[in-house]
Chains A and B, each alone.
Chain A
């Protein structure tokens, strides 16, 4: 995060400039050093449930970024008018509304994806990241900052989701990116109904060179996601020992 000389000058003049140093940190910190999944311990259930394949995880990540950003914005705008006794219900109504918007947009513009994901989209309501950030950040900060915090945390969550899903799909099912409707990205073979990058069960294409690989069924179980996140935490904290919590 090297800061250029110009942005320092801007910072002195206007401390709350829309893209000052603090605002940048709001987006970059949750990616690694304050990651919602591995440091704040939020949103683990869905990280176990969706990550058997890469493509659904990718869509869910985008949806969570959207919901997180706009619910933070809305809560932050309303924060001085929400009585503390009913704040959870208010937050949940905001989240549920946004999730419904995501669901309807997907239904209208990409029905194939919607059919694959219908249950998991609904479950974004109970994703702790969204409500956790509302409680921890948006209830106490200005709208623009809360918005950026929402984007940052959504992205940090998506990063973990994609890493876990990559290993689980590749080693558990011998495929990669099954079901992605984006033909542009296809490297591997394509058998009319489903598209994928790699598929060890295919008869042609890149994946067919790996047809000797026997799928590891352990990777499909939720326990495997726990192990992968555990190993990721190990790597992350040996890289940056300051993150270790001794307890």
Chain B
């Protein structure tokens, strides 16, 4: 039950892109067509779902005071997490290059940039700060990736429709994507519930 809760929460209520605004660069740059957005979305789901449990194991058994080395090594967390993510992304890149060269070309520089996609490192750091256990972190990885996937598909679909509408010429393309994301984010904030630290109303 806990697995399902974490999945729903990370996919919808605490959506990586629309609630926390993480992983914006590739979200905005690759959402031109649904087809490429679909490919990148799948790659992000895969990388998040695989790196999350690996990083959980690293954090639990290597870095903590109860780990193998018996000392507090948490200052290595950034470097180790990033190294795991980079190697996973490198793997994904090689697979996509072999399997679908057209997708590889349309993703361009944004495929290696999944490494520095804040949603992925951010996910691992959230996992640590929220003290998830192994199954919860798998759920969080899958859910977070799924939420990211849904968000980029939604934006890509809106942008495909927008191509036939009467947007001011200078705002066409990227400019409109920025404003749309802002609006979608504001809509998603209503899902976060009433949390005084988020809204900080009053002076």
Do A and B interact with each other, yes or no?
A: yes
Q: B116 contacts A237, CB within 8 Å? A: no
Number of chain A residues close to chain B: CB under 8 A: 51
Could you tell me if A226 and B82 are in contact, using CB atoms closer than 8 angstroms?
no
Contacting pair A224 B21 (CB below 8 A): no
Tell me the complex Cα distance, A238–B167, Å. Answer: 13
Is B90 touching A126 in the complex (CB atoms < 8 A)?
A: no
**A38, A92, A96, A127 pick with most chain B CB within 10 angstroms:** A92
A234 at interface (Cβ–Cβ under 8 A)? yes
> Residues of B within 8 Å of A, CB-based: how many?
50
Q: Name the CB-closest residue of A to B120.
A: A126
Q: Residue-by-residue, is A5-33 near B (CB-CB < 8 Å gives 1, otherwise 0)?
A: 00000000000000000000000000000
B166 at the interface (CB under 8 A from A): no
Judge whether A92 and B82 touch: CB under 8 Å: yes
Pairwise interchain contact B176-A230, C-beta atoms closer than 8 A? yes
The answer to whether B181 touches A226 (Cβ under 8 A) is yes
In the bound assembly, the distance between CA atoms of A204 and B33 in angstroms comes to 54
Distance in Å from the Cβ of A212 to the closest Cβ of chain B?
13
Query: How far apart sit A86 and B87, CA to CA, in the bound complex (Å)?
Result: 8
Partner of B21, one of A39, A45, A89: A45
Question: What's the minimum C-beta distance from B17 to chain A, rounded to whole angstroms?
Answer: 10
What separation, in Å, do the CA atoms of A45 and B82 have in the docked complex?
A: 17
- Residue B171, interface by CB 8 Å: yes
By a CB distance below 8 angstroms, the chain B residues around A217 are 199-201
B190 proximal to A (CB < 8 A): no
Q: Which residues in chain B, 13-57, are within 8 Å of chain A measured between CB atoms?
A: 21-26, 28-29, 32-33
Q: 5 pairs across A/B with beta carbons < 8 Å?
A: A92-B115, A125-B78, A221-B189, A238-B170, A241-B170
B residues whose Cβ falls under 8 Å from a Cβ of A = 21-26, 28-29, 32-33, 78-79, 82-83, 86-87, 89-90, 94, 109, 112-113, 115-118, 121, 159, 163, 168-176, 178-179, 181-183, 185-186, 189, 199-201, 203
Please give me the 10 A-B residue pairs with the lowest Cβ-Cβ distance, nearest first: A226-B182, A230-B178, A238-B170, A233-B175, A237-B170, A41-B29, A44-B24, A230-B179, A223-B182, A222-B21
